[in-house]
């Protein structure tokens, strides 16, 4: 079953190789310019139809965009679930899909989204081998101590030594200035690395887009246009919107890790869990959140700590 899922993505990943192999037929009349992604896809399918053996064709069809949509749906289901082992099982398939996405026409913007989710998958695999995170008891005062963030140490190890994205030199001064303008700690601008690996065009199958992966409804509620132009791809405007949203969430929850959780999972879900568990700490609800949010919060905190040197317990409050 695993191989049947992986093979289509591997086939897509081999399209450039197939195109290069077919170039001998074009030597007498070489093309004036490199083929577009659509032309490359059509060439790959033509080569598959022409040269694949009947046995291979019987095993699977040439991969289509529908295969990506089906895979993305299954992966999102695992991300929304609560079993880290189930999410970890997608590692091999996700790696193959990521390679394929770099080639699949019209799906290039999904690559950074999947790369970030592969990061969660790898961390879930490591986390599943650790002792279960122990929830804290009720807290009388909100806090953001490092010990309150399950899997923070795991993510700190993953982020240390990881190269800074190439777009950081250009984008981070803009993002930090936008967060400062909204009176939010500028270190929080590094959330963009966790959300999109600092790719303004990144988009998710669910419809989130931009550096801060804002959903259309959320973006519009923050004053951004999502159609001609889609301002979620504008670095400064999307950063100011994300900072406003994070400020609002901190005002509601009084704690940055909880604000990050609400940014990812929705404030309604976070509030219901806090009330059900009678706690004010992220650790008290972590085990009841989705796999994605359980990995997202410590990743954000570790990313901020490694990139800015400010640990979660030292993050300042929004300025009035």
Catalytic, out of 187, 193, 195, 292: 195
CA angle at residue 18 from 16 to 19, to 5 degrees? 65
**Cβ neighbours, 10 Å, residue 58:** 9
Place of tokens 């800015």: 308
Place of tokens 């951004």: 224
**Cβ neighbours, 10 Å, residue 36:** 10
Exposed e or buried b for every residue in 124-155, given b needs 16+ CB within 10 A? bbebeeeeeeebbeeeeebbbebebbbbbebb
Q: Which residues contact 130 (CB under 8 A, 6 or more apart)?
A: 151, 154
**Cβ neighbours, 10 Å, residue 55:** 7
- DSSP 8-state assignment for residue 29: S
Phi first, then psi, for residue 144 (nearest 5°) are -140, 40
Write 206-214 long-range contacts (CB < 8 A, 24+).
206/76, 208/113, 209/233, 210/234, 210/238, 211/171, 211/175, 211/235, 211/238, 211/239, 211/242, 212/238, 212/239, 212/241, 212/242, 213/113, 214/238, 214/241, 214/242, 214/245
Known active-site residue 195:
yes
The residues assigned a catalytic role are: 195
């Amino acid at each position: 079953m695993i191989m049947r899922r992986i093979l289509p993505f591997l086939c897509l990943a081999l399209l450039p190789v197939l195109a290069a192999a077919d170039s001998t037929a074009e030597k007498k009349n070489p093309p004036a310019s490199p083929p577009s992604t659509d032309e490359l896809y059509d060439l790959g399918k033509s080569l598959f139809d022409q040269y694949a053996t009947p046995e291979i064709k019987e095993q699977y069809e040439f991969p289509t965009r529908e295969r990506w949509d089906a895979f993305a749906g299954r992966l999102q289901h695992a991300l929304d679930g609560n079993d880290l082992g189930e999410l970890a099982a997608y590692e091999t398939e996700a790696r193959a899909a990521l390679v394929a996405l770099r080639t699949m026409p019209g799906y290039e913007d999904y690559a950074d989204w999947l790369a970030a989710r592969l990061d969660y998958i790898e961390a879930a695999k490591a986390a599943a081998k650790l002792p279960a995170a122990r929830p804290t008891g009720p807290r009388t005062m909100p806090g953001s101590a490092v010990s309150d963030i399950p899997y923070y140490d795991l993510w700190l190890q993953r982020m240390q030594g990881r190269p800074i994205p190439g777009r950081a030199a250009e984008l981070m001064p803009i993002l930090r200035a936008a967060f400062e303008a909204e009176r939010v700690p500028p270190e929080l601008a590094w959330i963009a690395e966790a959300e999109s690996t600092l790719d303004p065009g990144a988009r998710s199958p669910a419809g989130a887009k931009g550096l801060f992966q804002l959903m259309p409804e959320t973006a519009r509620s923050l004053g951004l246009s999502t159609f001609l132009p889609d301002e979620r791809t504008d670095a400064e405007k999307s950063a100011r919107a994300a900072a406003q949203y994070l400020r609002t969430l901190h005002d509601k929850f009084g704690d940055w890790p909880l604000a990050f959780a609400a940014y990812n999972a929705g404030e309604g879900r976070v509030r219901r869990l806090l009330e059900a568990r009678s706690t004010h700490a992220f650790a008290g609800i972590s085990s009841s959140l989705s796999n994605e949010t359980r990995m997202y919060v410590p990743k954000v905190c570790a990313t901020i700590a490694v990139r800015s040197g400010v640990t979660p317990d030292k993050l300042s409050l929004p300025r009035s």
